[in-house]
Structure 1
């Protein structure tokens, strides 16, 4: 088996405190992340042959960032050096990325200005057997969306497994197209599609009843959505849906997998207090790849991916720092 290549924008998450003390204290914490780098980080930590591709300007700071990626055990030979800036976003620590308090500063970043023809895919895909990207990539710019399609065509031509995370970031879609106008053309190349029923509605046009509520109905809709995805996109073999609810008193989490005509539901977890919501979905995606890449059973894959995502809620950074045994131990007391 070859490398697992994750493709997306490297970001610096700047974390001002909500009270504004960062100004008086001259202290502004940050994390290195980006959805796809979070996936690559987890896979490397778990012993997988993880690789990462992004675009960065060529300067002393990005040399340090690339060295950091290498220190994580991630193959960074496919990183493209071009453009003028690294993407940033600002988010109060612990807040959800979909929260309105997020501030993006990514316009004209090196990644957003990538164009078709810039990348020598025959070199990038050498020894790669799995290609992962997220719906954040085509949201960044119309040019980046075209590069995604170019990459997917090249990957499928080489019989590379393709996975996508349908993570929706409303504040990023600013170039005149709605996600549903872009994502179906990319999803048709994908072997594994992960998201949730509402993301599938927004990005793939698969409707969800407006008054839907309750776990039983959510699960029923997840199965319907999964079947429709496989009908519309015949290359898709596996569909995953995640459910995370911030309820009074804590966070509830469970997920589903649909593959080989079978619909399976994970354990449910609940925690009264968590540390950081950022990167939980990325950790689920990494867990899904981890299981499927190794040929583990669907039950094992679902179990581990769900536990990995839930355990990330207790890690204060964009990516997990927990190994598989630590993950399974961590979630033992949270089954609900």
Structure 2
């Protein structure tokens, strides 16, 4: 999907936290009018209704819908995130169907999330969580680690995040195997299989990384059957969405020793309730949806947005467009 005409002097709505991180936007684009959006609450204002574009992070979904309904010239919305499923509803779907372009910050968060995945897998290989627990007991414990080199990593999702994980895996001497809806070759994956064949790769997967979007096809994709297919030494890393797994089945797989360990950054309910058994599940490391947080994100977010703003002004195709609106990604 592309813009049909250039917008040499657009009005761009931008979330206040993003505008604070990018203080030189006005100097770089003197012909662009930037209008600040509040992170919380807020009412529809006249200057919102004349907007041509929006760069948003957190904001009131009610205000977002009001803008979509009342800004007829709004031709492009970019989000400061790697995925689309957390935002929008019927109004957004109607505008996208009518030609409005929606893009994500496709090169902003993939680096940090990929580094999280590599860190999690190496941590499991060298058994760092076990050593941390031993330290709490003042116990001089010595564990046998596993070589990461020579291992097989099944990466579900071959988009920007999956590709960043894949080349790092390959650089460390392991074999990245991709799983995607299409099965099309991508990046540095040794091979890519279609999602309807994914059971075939699980028995050989020393590590499984879930980096695919949440869709009706991927919801609860991993349950008891899938965990039973994985080797007992296998490690699961989920940085996609919590609902990609059956969380109760994951808890059971870890408690029973069906798989060795898991690192989970995303959950069906967030924040994770204090009484959720995942907090205390054996060999499960919980992180509070923070795999993307890093000090270099601001510069990457600005680079992604500026690149698309330049394309928008010129009337060129935008990067990171929603390629499958019917599936939400």
TM norm structure 2: 0.30
Q: Which has the higher strand share?
A: 1
Q: Which structure's relative contact order is higher, taking Cα pairs within 8 Å and 6+ residues apart?
A: 2
Instruction: Pick the structure with greater CA Rg.
Output: 2
